[in-house]
Structure 1
């Protein structure tokens, strides 16, 4: 897997096929579609996904977690290029 360290920063992204994991310091956002075909490509995708989930669980287990966090809504800013 790449240098994607769950909860480590606000900018890392891991893409598996059309499936994306987006890193934040307080959450991991997962979106897209992933087809796990019964071939070597599917196996590679499955192993990458397994590694990602194992890393996420490991990071979560290292912390004294609250029952639930409040996720701040995203803030929209004006396009600086217009």
Structure 2
């Protein structure tokens, strides 16, 4: 989607919203199970749109709430 977002930034942004250390999130963890709800997911969508992921929408993330999927979607690389 873009190269503005790095895998590290995606991980850090998610960790910030669920209140944990970025290293605690495994690539295949279900982020909803870790406490990421729809409101926080929308906050990430808006944050990442502002960083250049203009075509990102909530459904892109809600469909598969795993860090590895989101990282691939946003950066084209692995988590």
Task: Give TM-score, length-normalised by structure 2.
Answer: 0.30
Q: Which has the larger radius of gyration?
A: 1
Structure having the larger proportion of residues in helix: 2
- Greater length-normalized contact order (CA 8 Å, ≥ 6 residues apart): 2
Task: Give TM-score, length-normalised by structure 1.
Answer: 0.29
